[in-house]
Structure 1
Amino acid sequence: MDVGLHALGVGTGAERTVIDAVAAAAERAGFATLWAGERVVMVDESASRYPYSDDGVSPVSPDSDWLDPFITLSFAGAATTRIGLATGVLVLPEHNPVVVAKRAASLDKLCAGRLALGVGIGWVREEFDALGVPFARRAARTADYVAALRALWRYDVASHDGEFVQFHDVRVNPKPRNRTLPIVLGGNSEAALEQAARWADGWYGFNLADVEEAAEAAATLRRLTRAAGREPGDLRLCAALREPMPGDARRLADAGFDEMVLVSSPPYDPIAAEAWVGELARQWIGPAH
């Protein structure tokens, strides 16, 4: 079971010295992946319900610093040489997919093929409104954008004629190191699982209540993946639990998960942040876990 760390880009994790310290310490300690999420717009009072908590309220204050995930991960990548990097998640329908293809491939090239593109469908209507993107049919828009990304990465001269994006005979360079990137879909609803089953390379279950909820989602995803004519083993499963307990990593592995992601905020001081990573590693990485 791999262990990832979702700690960079927000609040104290938005400081350059902390990013450097956490990234380097996480690599030394044996973490598999550094995750960084995205919010383009925050509002003081949102009519949109946060889908990852019981009360529907986001735990991140609207006045917190929240860095662009590609920039965050570029700094983390520059401080390391081996650890994986992943957006967790980029709200894909809010972005031009041709630009995303360029930015993601550029980062993948500079970090020597370590990037996974975690994407989400989005849940904040006010954010879509501010960006001038329709909130309706955002799941269909996401699927179309993913197909466009894969065409741009795969072909030297690419074309795509989808419902939401069209281009013909264009070159977008650089290409990712492997001519594609793993695309991991976030979202815990059955609708999100259906999307993952159809076209994703993996699934990131975020802020799940416990292992039982994670295992139920994994079983649903296996059923949906088979119904879509795909092999469930083709998807990499990652889970972040709300309050992980000793033994949960082993139980997640038994449920078919590949990576347990720890979500937390580092201390503001980089020396303390390095020690904080070391303590997390002692708790969660090793044969006993």
Structure 2
Amino acid sequence: MGIGSGADPDVIAATARHAEDRGFATLWCGEHVVMVDQPSSRYPYTPDGQIAVPVDADWLDPLACLGFAAAHSSTIRLATGVLLLPEHNPVIMAKQVASLDRLSKGRFTLGVGIGWSRDEFDALGVPFSRRAERTAAYLEAMRALWSTEVATVESDFVSFRDVRVNPKPTQSHVPVILGGNSDRALMRVAEWSDGWYGFNLDGLDHVADRLATLRSYCAERDRAMSDMRIAVALRDPRDAELGDLEHLGVDELVIVESPPDSADAVEEWIADLAQRWIDR
């Protein structure tokens, strides 16, 4: 949700209601603050290095979009897939995430990425270098603010002392999953996230390879794969792969499809998706 036709409020509301009614697990919303006509960075999730979203498409702020969806649903989970954490102030983001988790009554999963577009970082005045370290430091600070009444954090990227940020999230531990398909990304998953979101993977063999790499990194750090939430989006998903994905350890298959332009067409669109993926 949140992109193109999925940025229309009536479409968002209808999607939230009907997806919940038909038993879908999660509503996902990604993020880009800016887009440029001629990017200097290669998009890492397609063979040609080009992002499929038109540069002039509407792209809602993901937390605002999910907050709106939360008001039109009651049980379906909400997730960013992904929010570009190093582009945000971590203290403000801690409050925004906690607020969304409160308003949704504990339904939020924070999916984060370190970002790939140098142009976007430049536009925001954020250094592109060391963005992975910045992401880890920001997340550490946010977790401190969520779990501690009076928090103090000092690092290369964050510095505050004896501050209070309320409200606290409804969930005692807000799940944080990390995007990225590279070995380095999977190493970061094993080091400090609660799960992995693999995006635009090229079939079962690619999923199996990436999960084997993640499993090895977790073993090196005495982390159990069973404690992690694994979500994947496939470049070409097929009905017959659902059981195979579950066997590999995947918890959730994310269906990347644009909603229709009209809210009146959403119910039929969701019904068709449910017939293909749920009513089996």
Shorter-chain TM-score range: over 0.9
CA distance in 2, matches of 1:202, 1:149: 17
CA distance in 1, matches of 2:22, 2:96: 28
SS at match of 1:41: coil
CA offsets, 1:125-175, max 9 Å, x none?
000000010000101111111111110000111111122001111100010
> Unaligned 5+ residue runs, structure 2?
none
The one-letter code sitting in structure 2 at the alignment partner of 1:48 is S
Q: Does 1:193 align with 2:186?
A: yes
Tell me what 1:136 maps to.
Answer: 129
Tell me what 2:92 maps to.
Answer: 99
- 1:77 CA displacement: 0.6
CA offsets, 1:51-97, max 9 Å, x none?
11000000000000000000100111100000000011000000011
Identity fraction in percent: 54
CA distance in 1, matches of 2:18, 2:198: 25
Q: Which moved more, 1:246-255 or 1:82-91?
A: 246-255
Tell me what 2:45 maps to.
Answer: 52
Match of 1:175 among 153, 168, 171: 168
Match of 2:64 among 43, 64, 71: 71
Match of 2:30 among 19, 31, 37: 37
Runs of 4+ in 1 over 4 A off after TM superposition: none
The one-letter code sitting in structure 2 at the alignment partner of 1:20 is A
Tell me what 2:156 maps to.
Answer: 163
Tell me what 1:27 maps to.
Answer: 20
Q: Does 1:228 align with 2:226?
A: no
Tell me what 1:3 maps to.
Answer: none
Tell me what 1:5 maps to.
Answer: none
Q: Does 1:14 align with 2:7?
A: yes
SS at match of 1:34: strand
Q: Which moved more, 1:85-94 or 1:156-165?
A: 156-165
CA distance in 1, matches of 2:173, 2:86: 19
CA distance in 2, matches of 1:13, 1:264: 10
CA offsets, 1:253-282, max 9 Å, x none?
010111111001011011112210110011
CA offsets, 1:98-118, max 9 Å, x none?
011000000100010000000
Is the CA contact (8 Å cut-off) linking 2:101 and 2:171 kept in structure 1? no
- 1:234 CA displacement: 1.3
CA distance in 2, matches of 1:9, 1:263: 12
> TM-score scaled to structure 2, two decimals?
0.99
SS at match of 2:254: strand
Q: Which moved more, 1:102-111 or 1:178-187?
A: 178-187
| RMSD, matched Cα | 0.8
CA offsets, 1:196-244, max 9 Å, x none?
0001001000111111101111111111011122112111100000110
SS at match of 2:266: helix
> TM-score scaled to structure 1, two decimals?
0.96
Superposition pairs of residues 196-215 of structure 1, within 5 angstroms = 196-215=189-208
Q: Does 1:264 align with 2:257?
A: yes
